[in-house]
Amino acid sequence: MTPVIDLQACGPSERDWAAVCDVLAPFVWPPCRRVVVVSPHPDDETFGAGGLIGVAVERGLGVMVVSVTDGEAAFPHPDLAQIRRAELSNALGCLDPARSIDTVRLGFADSHVSASLRALTAEIAHCLDPDDLVVCPMPDDGHPDHGAVSAAATDAAGAVGATVRWFPVWAWHCHEPARSLLAQGERLALPPAVLCRKDRAVSCYLSQLEGETPVVPPLMMVRLLRPFEVFVVPR
């Protein structure tokens, strides 16, 4: 069964996740000249892989963020797409103050990505080179757009011969730690300066973090701002 986000539940404790994460192998950088992060909505690139982006910048690698939707369906607001595009720009500016990150906006319909899977796969493949490291959500990350983007990005990378790694966002909340693919992941330690930049980048997404019932509730912050990120080799 595919996990589903239920924000009425607390989800696994940090102690449960520590039992998994504390014994993970360290992240191994595959040979690559560029990191391409394929993000379902503005914020997923930062929440799931902001640390990886920051480390890649420090290593002198090129970085591209492919933003599949504008996140316009998160809640009713006539200007939400524009707001979230601006938040994305600000967040990437925090992750890389030199603003060298390339951004591609694909404009697919938020919450309906699976209806355009073939077109999305082709669009992503057009952005990729064989020596890219393609980073995208896990296939069972708890949101249908995340699953669709995972499938499309993984297939597109396979078509061009690029390497793939999956990252969690909502999986931290809706997976059972001992049974999760994250138990087979690799742990990327984040230098303090990179973690600080990720913290500032996460804070750019006020549309998702504020309000009486925020889209991303406070209980998620401890999961998204740990001093490490986890990535899974597709199997």
Domains located in the chain, CATH noted: 30-231 (3.40.50.10320)
Per 3-state DSSP, the chain is made up of helix, strand and coil in percentages (nearest 5) of 45, 20, 35
pLDDT-based confidence at residue 2 (cuts at 50, 70, 90): low
Please give the Cα distance from 121 to 47 (Å, whole number). Answer: 23
**Phi, psi torsion values for 167, nearest 5 degrees:** -125, 155
pLDDT given for residue 3 in this prediction: 81
* Mean pLDDT computed over 161-167: 98
- Model confidence pTM above 0.85: yes
- Return the pLDDT at 1: 58
- At 7, is the pLDDT very low, low, confident or very high (cuts 50, 70, 90)? confident
